[in-house]
Amino acid sequence: MNKKYDVIIAGGGAAGFFTAINIAEANPELKIAILERGKETLSKVRVSGGGRCNVTHACFIPNDLVRFYPRGEKELRGPFSRFGAGDTIEWFEKRGVELKTEDDGRMFPVTDSSQTIIDCFNTAVKNAGVQVLTGESIQSLYKGEHAWKVETQNGTFICDKLVMATGSNPKMWDLLAELGHTIVSPVPSLFTFNIKDPRIKDLMGVSALATVKVKNSKLEASGPLLITHWGMSGPGILRLSAWGAVELFAKSYQFAILVNWLNDVDLEECDVILKELKQEHAKKTVSKKSPFDFPNRLWESLVSAAGINADTKWADLTRNELQALASQLIEGEYQVNGKSTFKEEFVTAGGVDLKEVNFKTMESKRVENLYFAGEVINVDAITGGFNFQNAWTDAFIAAESIVNGNI
């Protein structure tokens, strides 16, 4: 027997729940169902932010917020003006969830538990009468003249409006391609670099503010760089991986990076600084203490890599040794050989082509009464609560559009 709904939302994740709640609370008369293929809903919310759920980021100006999105920057400017980080904070506060801001701008529930967000959503859908159906794997989508037919392995659902909030699901992208949508091939975003190099071999846990460039490329990013047992990570590397997702995929993750451990100091400035240090610390041993704002262990390693003996005094440094040291500090070359996933952050670049989405309504430009929310479209962001903010914004606009569409 066919099950008839006003709205069906495909996907029981953050975007799907947020869409359903906003529709149902705005128009309680509508019959709404969430179809989730897995046994559990909101699984990505559960693991986000190490189990704390990084709900959003304390960035309240749309023009600033969009800069954290390698794909979607231009398209999201308008949507963020309608529902941004401040609106997210207010939305959760109205439902009894208080958020706090950490020093780096990331925002979490004050409970430091993703269960708080999950409980909020589950309570809201229950109170609003939204049906949440798990174990419903969509097999086909058919658009009739007046309604959608959604087939799962368990049966057939009929609805007037369909919202795709299925994240980075290749099977769903295939179904959308069959409906006439262009799918930008998915590639991983947010990953760390696998590097085996004697200079960083025993420096696990060392962190420094650095600028990293991909050699023979325009890709460049700055931020804290963390040395790990497999290579390099930290916000700077993750930022580079997000903006370089497509290009680095094309390189099969085999490329060289140039690391500037002094971040915004160039080679010429570094030469001057080192000559001054040579005069100031003439009688001191070069490798003994880092004169820069990064740990001694890293300094010792870079001094050694420059071919300077451990007991060499500053006064005894040759011109060639000073140049070699400056080169290690400003343009140290490291070979990347593969990538690793960043924690549980499974973020993908790719999805429905942005040109085929109306960002004033989140409705498809190709298929009437088809809406999108979240990572199903070709939008992704760096880590820090930005991917969730995109989900909330898309979902809110799709919900508002559906409600105002007077089903």
Per residue in 28-60, pLDDT tens?
999 999 999 999 999 999 999 889 999 999 999
Res. 61 pLDDT band, cuts 50 70 90: very high
> Tell me: the pLDDT tens digits for 299-321?
999 999 999 999 999 999 999 99
Report pLDDT for 406: 54
pLDDT digits (tens, 9 = 90+) for 168-185: 999 999 999 999 999 999
More confident residue, 190 or 88: 88
| 94, burial (CB in 10 Å: exposed 0-12, middle 13-18, buried 19+) | exposed
**pLDDT tops 90 at residue 350:** yes
What's residue 341's pLDDT?
83
Give yes or no for a contact between 222 and 211, defined as CB atoms under 8 angstroms apart. yes
**pLDDT-based confidence at residue 380 (cuts at 50, 70, 90):** very high
Q: How far from the centroid of its chain's Cα atoms is residue 268's Cα?
A: 35
User: How, if at all, do strands 347-352 and 254-260 pair?
Assistant: unpaired
DSSP three-state, residue 148: strand
pLDDT band at 367 (very low <50, low <70, confident <90, very high): very high
Mapped onto helix, strand or coil, the DSSP state of residue 138 is: strand
Q: Per-residue pLDDT for 16 more than 70?
A: yes
Burial class of residue 291, CB neighbours in 10 A (0-12, 13-18, 19+): middle
How confident is residue 348, by pLDDT bands cut at 50, 70 and 90?
A: confident
pTM of the predicted structure, to 2 decimals: 0.91
pLDDT tens readout for residues 71-126: 999 999 999 999 999 999 999 999 999 999 999 999 999 999 999 999 999 999 99
Count CB atoms within 10 A of the CB of residue 74: 11
pLDDT at 407: 47
Instruction: Give me the chain's average pLDDT, please.
Output: 96
Question: What are the tokens at 341?
Answer: 């996933």
Rg (CA), the chain: 25
User: With bands split at pLDDT 50, 70 and 90, how would you rate the model's confidence at 344?
Assistant: low
The predicted structure's pLDDT at residue 2: 72
Domains and CATH numbers, the chain: 3-188+344-404 (3.50.50.60), 191-341 (no CATH)
* pLDDT at 405 (0 to 100): 85
Give me the pLDDT at residue 7, please: 98
User: Which ranges in 66-113 belong to alpha helices (H)?
Assistant: 73-82, 85-94
In percent, the amount of the chain with pLDDT more than 70 equals 98
Supply the pLDDT for residue 272: 98
Mean pLDDT value of segment 182-209: 96
